[in-house]
Amino acid sequence: MAVSEQPVGIDELLDRVRETYARVETHETYEAAQAGEALLVDIRYAALRERDGLIPGALVVERNELEWRLDPLGSHRAPQATGHDLRVVVICNEGYASSLAAVSLHRLGLRRATDLVGGFQAWRAAGLPVTAQAA
């Protein structure tokens, strides 16, 4: 019989997964997107996008669809999911759920996937571009 791991709390789990890749800050993310070197993926739910707006050019993918839309081998992939070498920056509201999502993308072979420290709220606080969501 295999020995099972002891349960961990979410804070410890976040610490563990974040040790496996390099997260990115707001201005680095902005510059990479502007240079066409990164695909920004907004996984916030609709109410937050409606309330706070959108990052121009970011691909909006609900969290529950993320792996299906970004798997380059998947039948439901987004056109932007061009290969496993794609640099993806996952953005949630405050930078927590995006860390777990980035690690999930690593398991699909997207080894350059990362997330934005502080999420959308850090982006907006840094004064980076935000547009209102169309009604």
The domain limits of the chain are: 10-126
**Helix axis angle, 97-107 to 10-18, nearest 10°:** 50
Level-2 CATH architecture, domain 10-126? 3-Layer(aba) Sandwich (3.40)
pTM for the model: 0.92
**pLDDT (tens digit, 9 = 90+) per residue, 41-97?**
999 999 999 999 999 999 999 999 999 999 999 999 999 999 999 999 999 999 999
